[in-house]
């Protein structure tokens, strides 16, 4: 329904939401960066494995939105077994902060989120780069890529957050982000 000036309530709300998302300040630490982010946090991803997409605001006015976190956890499930485990929101914060620092509209491609111990063991058999006690098993890690940014650019953005582990996997074209201790590795 349009008002006297031709502006609909839905259009006004859309402009308001877009302003909140784009008006957020930037700084180098993921948690301080996002704590001052206009009190709106958003994550956008797609999965080449399942064909699913995710575009959700998961934090508003100082609080995580439980339904959005559940949606994110389902999206980041172990697609091989379809098992879901609640993703640590700090991992989502690091990914969202890195995405904002990269100044892109494109969603991340999720390669791996939560993994069961069985899936992790199977992946370890085929690669030396898979840790035995991976934070993927604890639902505290994500392997991500962007078409429009290099592994090096994503790695530098995630490292600038100084908020967890960041691994650069140039040969496989992805960056690992986790909410464990601050550390970095890779070529």
Q: Which residue has the tokens 């991340």?
A: 108
pLDDT in tens, 128-142: 777 778 999 999 999
Positive/negative CA dihedral, 72, 78, 81, 84: negative
Pairing of strands 108-112, 174-178: unpaired
Number of domains in the chain: 1
For residue 83, being part of any structural domain is answered with yes
Phi, psi of 11 (to 5 degrees): -65, -40
**Do the Cβ atoms of 156 and 116 come closer than 8 Å?**
no
For residue 7, being part of any structural domain is answered with no
For residue 6, being part of any structural domain is answered with no
Domain limits at 178?
Answer: 27-186
For residue 181, being part of any structural domain is answered with yes
pLDDT for residue 106 is more than 50: yes
> Residue 111 — very low, low, confident or very high, per pLDDT cuts 50/70/90?
very high
For residue 21, being part of any structural domain is answered with no
- The CATH number of whichever domain residue 150 belongs to comes to 3.30.1380.10
Q: Report CA dihedral (115, 120, 122, 128) to the nearest 10 degrees.
A: 140
Positive/negative CA dihedral, 149, 152, 158, 164: positive
pLDDT for residue 23 is more than 60: no
Question: What CA–CA distance (Å, rounded) separates 35 from 41?
Answer: 9
**Do the Cβ atoms of 174 and 111 come closer than 8 Å?**
yes
For residue 11, being part of any structural domain is answered with no
For residue 172, being part of any structural domain is answered with yes
pLDDT for residue 4 is more than 60: no
Q: What's the mean per-residue pLDDT of the chain?
A: 84
pLDDT in tens, 127-184: 777 777 899 999 999 999 999 999 999 999 999 999 999 999 999 999 999 999 999 9
pLDDT in tens, 30-47: 555 555 445 799 999 999
For residue 15, being part of any structural domain is answered with no
């Amino acid at each position: 329904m349009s008002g006297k000036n031709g502006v609909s309530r839905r259009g006004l709300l859309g402009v308001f939401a877009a302003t909140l998302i784009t008006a957020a300040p930037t700084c180098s630490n993921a948690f301080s960066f996002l704590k001052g982010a206009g009190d709106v946090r958003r994550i956008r991803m797609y999965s080449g494995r399942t064909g699913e997409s995710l575009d959700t605001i998961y934090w508003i006015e100082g609080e995580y939105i439980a339904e959005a976190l559940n949606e994110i956890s389902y999206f980041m499930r172990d697609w091989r077994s379809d098992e879901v485990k609640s993703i640590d929101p700090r991992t989502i914060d690091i990914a969202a902060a890195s995405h904002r620092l990269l100044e892109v509209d494109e969603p991340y491609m999720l390669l791996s989120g939560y993994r069961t111990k069985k899936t992790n063991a199977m992946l370890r058999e085929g690669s030396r780069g898979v840790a035995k006690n991976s934070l993927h098993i604890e639902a505290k890690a994500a392997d991500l890529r962007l078409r429009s940014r290099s592994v090096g650019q994503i790695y530098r953005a995630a490292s600038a957050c100084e908020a967890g582990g960041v691994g650069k996997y140039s040969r496989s074209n992805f960056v690992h982000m986790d909410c464990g201790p601050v550390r970095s590795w890779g070529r």
